[in-house]
């Protein structure tokens, strides 16, 4: 094993957390991650109602007896979301780890902390990380510019953000954005993090419940095959560069409004296109680390390879010190 404050606090074998991914972080993937010795995270909003989340938690527990958590992403949505009810499910089902993202979880802290839930807040700047600490979060997971999904608007990379956050905060830092192998894990630990968060790498596993066509295109994608969209909306997202995202970026350049962009940004539309085997017409969140990922192994293989590579790297670094 690899012992850090993260493995101790969460009772897992390895300092690796699987980041919450819409549509992907379901029982198959989450249980596989936890069974492999890392920390799996279900995404609450992937489940249409609080009841279906409660059901997924129960189903996940049938597949693993190891700890796993739930992601709660607070975003402005067209249809209002009953976040209180999702938080209640977390508390009532005895989940002990919540990853929050989007707006900070201040409103729900009392309820969560009262139930002994550890809160990991995901954010993209030192300023937001300090705010998370101030409102009582236990951890921050800090996302660099290279990450999949929403890197924020500052464009500061993980190499800078992780040590900056570690210097500024008392609470521990999880490194997120750009991590996919054992070299990255050791880099993250060296920069001051106590664990790495990985999304794209876990999406590229046999257990991830997404269409094979997506895994096939990402397997050959290079580090230059991602694109930033929605910057004009100040909701920047890093996605796979394809027909759809290139079109969105061009429309933004020409000054398209949210109303004009909205149909192309629909998650439902993306999901349907993937189901029809048309990944070129889907929004696929994917980080620059996709350039380092060229296979689709099992989750257990991913985790074991990372740990064994990390051990070799640590031992090799140690051997470089002379005198």
Radius of gyration (C-alpha) of the chain in whole angstroms: 19
- Report in angstroms how near the CB of residue 229 gets to a copy of itself at its nearest: 14
- Asked if residues 223 and 184 have their Cβ atoms less than 8 Å apart, the reply is no
* Rounded CA separation 264/257 (Å): 12
* Rounded CA separation 19/102 (Å): 13
Considering only the stretches 17-25, 91-99, 101-109, 162-170, report the one whose residues sit in contact with a copy of itself under the rule CB under 8 A.
Answer: 162-170
Sign of the CA dihedral running 208, 311, 170, 148: negative
- Report in angstroms how near the CB of residue 116 gets to a copy of itself at its nearest: 26
- Using CB under 8 A as the binding rule, whether residue 55 contacts a copy of itself is answered as no
Instruction: Give the alpha-carbon dihedral of 5, 11, 12, 16, to 10 degrees.
Output: -40
The encoded tokens of residue 279 equal 């990944």
Cα dist from 13 to 22, 35, 98, 179, 201, whole Å: 25, 10, 18, 18, 18
User: According to CB under 8 A, which residues from 121 to 150 bind a copy of itself?
Assistant: 125-126, 144-146
- Using CB under 8 A as the binding rule, whether residue 318 contacts a copy of itself is answered as yes
Which residue from 291, 297, 300, 304 is in contact with a copy of itself, where contact means CB under 8 A?
291
- Using CB under 8 A as the binding rule, whether residue 219 contacts a copy of itself is answered as no
- Report in angstroms how near the CB of residue 320 gets to a copy of itself at its nearest: 5
- Asked if residues 231 and 277 have their Cβ atoms less than 8 Å apart, the reply is no
Considering only the stretches 39-47, 111-119, 163-171, 265-273, report the one whose residues sit in contact with a copy of itself under the rule CB under 8 A.
Answer: 163-171
Which residue from 59, 88, 106, 223 is in contact with a copy of itself, where contact means CB under 8 A?
223
Q: Which residues bind a copy of itself (CB under 8 A)?
A: 1-4, 125-126, 144-146, 154-161, 163-164, 167, 178-179, 181, 183-184, 186-192, 222-224, 288-289, 291-292, 311, 313-315, 317-318, 320-323
């Amino acid at each position: 094993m690899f012992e850090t404050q993260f493995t101790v606090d969460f009772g897992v074998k390895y300092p690796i957390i699987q980041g919450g991914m819409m549509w992907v972080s379901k029982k198959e993937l989450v249980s596989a991650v936890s069974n492999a010795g890392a920390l799996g995270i279900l995404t609450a909003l992937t489940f249409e109602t609080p009841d279906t989340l409660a059901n997924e938690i129960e189903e996940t527990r049938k597949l693993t007896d190891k700890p796993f958590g739930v992601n709660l992403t607070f975003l402005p949505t067209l249809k209002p979301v009953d976040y209180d009810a999702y938080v209640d499910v977390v508390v009532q089902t005895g989940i002990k780890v919540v990853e929050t993202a989007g707006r900070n979880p201040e409103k729900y802290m009392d309820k969560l902390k009262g139930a002994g839930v550890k809160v990991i807040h995901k954010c993209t700047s030192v300023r937001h990380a300090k705010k998370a600490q101030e409102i009582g979060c236990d951890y921050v997971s800090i996302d660099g510019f290279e990450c999949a999904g929403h890197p924020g608007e500052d464009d500061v990379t993980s190499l800078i953000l992780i040590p900056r956050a570690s210097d500024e905060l008392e609470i521990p830092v999880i490194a997120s954005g750009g991590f996919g192998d054992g070299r990255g894990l050791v880099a993250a630990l060296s920069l001051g993090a106590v664990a790495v968060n990985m999304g794209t790498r876990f999406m590229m596993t046999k257990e991830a419940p997404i269409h094979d066509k997506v895994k096939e295109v990402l397997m050959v994608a290079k580090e230059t095959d991602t694109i930033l969209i929605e910057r004009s909306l100040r909701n920047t997202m890093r996605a796979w560069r394809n027909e759809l995202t290139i079109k969105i970026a061009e429309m933004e350049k020409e000054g398209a409004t949210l109303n004009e962009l909205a149909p192309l940004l629909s998650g439902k539309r993306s999901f349907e296109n993937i189901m029809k085997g048309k990944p070129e017409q889907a929004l696929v969140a994917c980080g620059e680390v996709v350039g380092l990922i060229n296979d689709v192994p099992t989750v257990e293989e991913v985790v074991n390879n990372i740990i064994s590579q990390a051990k070799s790297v640590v031992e090799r670094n140690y051997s470089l010190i002379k005198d």
